[in-house]
Amino acid sequence: MNIIVTGGAGFIGSNFIYYMLNKYPDYRIICVDCLTYAGNLSTLKEALKNPKFRFCKVDIRDRKAIYNLFEEEHPDMVVNFAAESHVDRSIENPKVFLDTSINGTAVMMDACRKYGIKRYHQVSTDEVYGDLPLDRPDLFFTEETPLYTSSPYSSSKAGADLLVLSYHRTYGLPVTISRCSNNYGPYHFPEKLIPLMIANALADKPLPVYGKGENVRDWLYVEDHCNAIDLIIHNGRVGEVYNIGGHNEMKNIDIVKTICKELGKSEKLITYVTDRKGHDMRYAIDPTKIHNELGWLPKTKFTEGIKKTIQWYLDNREWWETIISGEYQKYYEKMYGNR
Ligand code: NAD
Ligand code: TDX
């Protein structure tokens, strides 16, 4: 089996590559990533030693390069993780989000149509469903929930999802889509809530909580997401959407307090800052379909996953300290300087 994994130098894609190389030693995994600010080749250092792994620095919008790669590799499957993934950046500059999610996804699927494929899998997000009110804990996103997006990021993801479903209906492309809740774990880029708070707390810097910190996210350990995608690409039904989530809803403020406690830092570091524009209140996934059809259940409890994650950041300081020492400083100053 030859699998192209796009966006594999990012957070979830890299975890998926390690998961697959470990679980299927006979598979060949080809990572396609153009190494944006979020892509990091050092993340794939161990994978690069594996003869079954190939890294290609290619932009998924580059039609010629993608077609050449398909001619060389004859992939059986494509798993498309490549996207701009940070909501705050999408509010500053939507264009690149649309370019990669819409045009990039189209190029990948056109290549699949031209050269043939057993499965094209689109990695999507729960954010395509918009948000839920805090006072209705009985409500969850199912696969039937209408798409109703809030940010340029989630709109770009929803646009890609619609395109994927249209390629199935119009051209019969064998697609699947997964919509997962917030992931956390190793190699999470330090602009996102959990790693940002870990890095700031370790440096005794303010912990910038947006608004009142009451927004709720449904956190899933990244390996559980990888396991779900593995089940979908092998056993999921073509043309179907699968929601993935761990029934682990937590308020942002409680996440930040947990991190303070685990690191032995004072909650006095917590600083309430101006809210995100259009900030979604609550995400909550109903994962009944993937459980009933594919037997998927999350394995890692949050209490255990957050400890493992914090330990990973303590053991791998070089990885994230290198990231936050460069260009990232300018981003941080722009986003948080006068907030
Ligand atoms: P990330 O930002 O850490 O990684 C994205 C990767 O894609 C980077 O390596 C980047 O270099 C690459 N990339 C971006 N544009 C590209 C392009 N045009 N061509 C080739 N490569 C490109 O993102 P992540 O958090 O790992 O998310 C991966 C996917 O999962 C995204 O599609 C995201 O929407 C989705 N998702 C993320 C979460 C989450 O909690 N992080 C939850 C649900 C779904
Ligand atoms: O400094 C911060 N302070 C803060 O209060 C940051 C970076 C975030 N937040 C809040 C905003 C959100 O309510 O924490 C919550 C989580 O924020 P992010 O880590 O930016 O994630 P979110 O916006 O929920 O989106 C994530 O989950 C769904 C991923 O980045 C997306 O790619 C994925 O689709």
Q: Which of 210, 270, 275, 333 to mutate to test the pocket of ligand 2 (most atoms within 8 A of CB)?
A: 210
Beta bridge partners of 293: none
Average pLDDT over residues 224-231: 98
Does pLDDT of 303 surpass 90? yes
Average pLDDT over residues 201-216: 98
Rounded to the nearest angstrom, the gap between the alpha carbon of residue 48 and the centroid of all alpha carbons in its chain is 22
Q: Which of 81, 180, 219 to mutate to test the pocket of ligand 1 (most atoms within 8 A of CB)?
A: 81
Amino acid making up residue 173: L
Looking at every residue in the chain, the average pLDDT score rounds to 97
Pick the residue whose CA is nearest to atom 31 on ligand 2: 85
Cβ atoms within 10 Å, residue 25:
9
Q: Output the DSSP codes for 185-218.
A: STT--TTSHHHHHHHHHHTT--EEEETTS--EEE
Average pLDDT over residues 133-160: 97
Residue with tokens 């395509």: 128
- Apex CA 316: angle with CA 315 and CA 319, to 5°? 170
In tens, the pLDDT along 238-248 reads 999 999 998 99
> Cβ distance 63 to 110 under 8 Å?
yes
Does pLDDT of 139 surpass 90? yes
The verdict on the CB of residue 323 being under 6 Å from ligand 2 is no
Q: Output the DSSP codes for 48-91.
A: GG-TTEEEE---TT-HHHHHHHHHHH--SEEEE--S---HHHHH
pTM beyond 0.85, yes or no: yes
Domains and CATH numbers, the chain: 2-187+219-247+280-300 (3.40.50.720)
In tens, the pLDDT along 187-197 reads 999 999 999 99
For the chain, how many helices (H) and strands (E)?
A: 13, 13
